[in-house]
Each structure stands twice: as structure tokens, then as C-alpha cells.
Amino acid sequence: MEEDGEVVTPGEVLGKASDLKPGTGAYVSPHDQTVYASLTGFRRILSPPPDSPDQVTKVMARMASADIMCCGTKSVREKFSGVIRQQDVRATEIDKVDMHLSFRAGDIVRALVLSLGDARAYYLSTAKNELGVVSAESGAGATMVPISWTEMQCPFTGQVEQRKVARVGG
């Protein structure tokens, strides 16, 4: 059995969370934003397809589920699940967040990995201006255009939908 990476053991530093997305057998320490090995195995770095952030799969009253497609510019080969909890959607007026007015299934979202979360999913955050929905499809099948931090509009029908929009460019 051939592997293409160096052998690592639990607790070994793999890199910074800003550069790497932890895969199976690795985790991010929330204290120093460092990726550590959690299992003995081979260190491998995989490249992502371009422009593939997290994709929302299901929106519930207190959280939204997402498939993690990449971290930074690094893609993930395996499927990783993430959860954006109600308290992690935005930085202010957290108690007034309506998940259904923040995300919809199929939205492409830029989010920050907060922690390992539970056994099923990483905890994700969109509580910064540059985080949130970066691409959404309207009912007419068009890519919607952001018109404010909380709204996107269908260019065909003019229909406006609520979203937690990611501020682009600064």
C-alpha cells in the first residue's frame, strides 16, 4: 500500500487553519487556529476545484446544513458536512435571525469553520460582513444579484429574496 504523504501521529501540527482544511483524521484547534492530526496516518494535501465554497443542503428553524466543498483554495475530496447555527449567522441581533430568511437550499455560501462541532458536522459561521451567501438561484433559474446585505434579486423577474449576503470586495 503506497501513500504519498509523510507519517503523522496524533497531536502533530499539520499547518495553519488559514492554509489547510482538516480532512479525516485532523482537526482545527479553536485556540490557535492550527490544524492537528487526530489519528496516525499519512499527511496528504489535496487541491480543490476552483470557486467551490460551501453549499447549503437544508435549512431548519435553528440551523442550516451545508456540504463543505473547499477550504480557502483547497478542495475536499471527501464529503464533509457543516452546520451554521442560528447564533453563528451574523454578529448582531442574533436572537432575531430567521434561518429561512438567511439561506435557502442550493445557496453557495462563504463561511468560516468555527470548530469540529459534533460527530456529524463542523460548526460554521457567517458572522462577518464578507461571509454569507455568494451565489443563489432564483425560482426562475437565474443567478440572483445581491442588492443589499440582506437581499438578492432575480435579474429576470425582479423578485427580491432575503439572504445573509456576503459582502464582496472588501
* Separation CA 19–CA 8 (nearest Å): 18
Contact between 51 and 75 under an 8 Å Cβ cutoff? The reply is no
Q: Confirm whether pTM is higher than 0.75.
A: no
Q: What is the CATH number of domain 54-162?
A: 2.40.50.140
Ordered per-residue pLDDT tens for the chain, 170 residues = 344 568 888 888 888 876 776 777 777 777 787 888 877 888 777 655 445 566 888 888 889 999 988 877 778 877 789 999 999 999 888 888 999 999 998 899 999 988 887 778 899 999 999 999 999 988 878 899 999 999 999 998 999 999 999 987 64
Residue ranges per domain, the chain? 7-42, 54-162
The beta strand positions in 72-146, using DSSP E, are: 74-85, 108-110, 112-115, 122-125, 132-135, 145-146
